[in-house]
Amino acid sequence: MDINENENKKGKDDIEFKIITLGNPGVGKTSIIQRYVSDDFNINQLSTLGISYSFKVMQVKERNLRFKLIDTGGQEKYRSLAVSYFRHVDVVLFVFDLNNKSSFDSVQYWIDLFNEHNNNKNIKAKYIIGNKNDLEQKVDQNLIDELTTRNDNIKYWSTSAKTKSQIDYLFSLIGFDLYEYLQKKENNKNEPNSNKSKTLSKNHGSKKKGFC
């Protein structure tokens, strides 16, 4: 894969995308981000107070994608703070703990909460993440498949922040989703039948008429 990553400050050609984590307390949201950004894991990771940010740049082909990672605290008291970010995010990761069934049972709640407060205009990719795949899986795979099928345009991925299993690959997939989005956007802009081109040719046509 043609991907390079670094933590540079925002460069002039970087395109920023906001990625948010959501899910019950203790499922490993912070640990996933910490593993990805710093290749670090803390067995005594403290619960996130409110919101925390980190950044990482991924180069996909000729593009520099700058990820702004918005990590939310899963505790109830931070819910309205988290909700206030929903409208502006590009990618959402709904995280649960594969070893904890009740964290899985809450995922639909998080999806509904997100869908209710996100206008769906900005969102480019949605993932359900089953984290802690180094531990015994206590969530039936059929239930995970059902949940994924029941919700539109959502992908499932299993990770371990502890062993680093599938973490880098997850962010590569996100990088490619965003790259594809940018390509499509550009193609639409250059498309002769796009709305913009239609407006331009209409204006151009009427101007010409005026000169006759």
Ligand X SMILES: Nc1nc2c(ncn2[C@@H]2O[C@H](COP(=O)(O)OP(=O)(O)OP(=O)(O)O)[C@@H](O)[C@H]2O)c(=O)[nH]1
Reported in sequence order, the residue ranges of 169-211 that DSSP labels E, i.e. its strands, are: none
Which residues are at the interface with Mg ion (CB under 5 A)? Answer: 29-30, 48
Half-sphere exposure of 55 (CA within 13 A, CB side): 14
Sorted by sequence, the CB contacts under 8 Å of residue 9 that are 6+ apart come out as none
Q: Which is closer to ligand X, CB of 31 or CB of 64?
A: 31
Name the DSSP letter for residue 18: E
Closest CB 163 distance from Mg ion, rounded Å: 19
CB of 188 to Mg ion, least distance (A): 37
Shortest distance, position 59 Cβ to ligand X, whole Å: 27
Shortest distance in whole angstroms from residue 87 CB to ligand X = 21
124 binds, among ligand X, Mg ion, none (CB under 5 to 8 A by kind): none
Sheet holding 91-97, edge to edge: 3-6, 51-60, 63-72, 14-22, 91-97, 125-131, 155-158
Q: Which stretch binds ligand X (CB under 6 A): 6-14, 38-46, 62-70, 201-209?
A: 38-46
Dihedral of alpha carbons 197, 203, 204, 206, sign = positive
Binders in 139-198 for ligand X, by CB under 6 A: 160-162
Contacted by 43, from Mg ion, ligand X, none: CB < 5 to 8 Å by type: ligand X
> Minimum CB separation from ligand X for residue 173, in Å?
18
Binding of residue 81 to ligand X (CB under 6 A): no
Contact 43, 77 (CB under 8 A): no
Site for ligand X in 84-143 (CB under 6 A): 131-132, 134-135
Give the burial string for 171-183 (b: 16+ CB within 10 Å, else e): bbbbbbbbbeeee
Measured from the CB atom, the residue of 11 and 50 that comes closer to ligand X is 50
Other beta carbons less than 10 A from residue 101's beta carbon:
14
**Count of residues touching ligand X (by CB under 6 A):** 24
Is 199 in a helix, a strand, or coil? helix
Site for ligand X, rule CB under 6 A:
23, 25-31, 42-45, 47-48, 73-75, 131-132, 134-135, 160-162
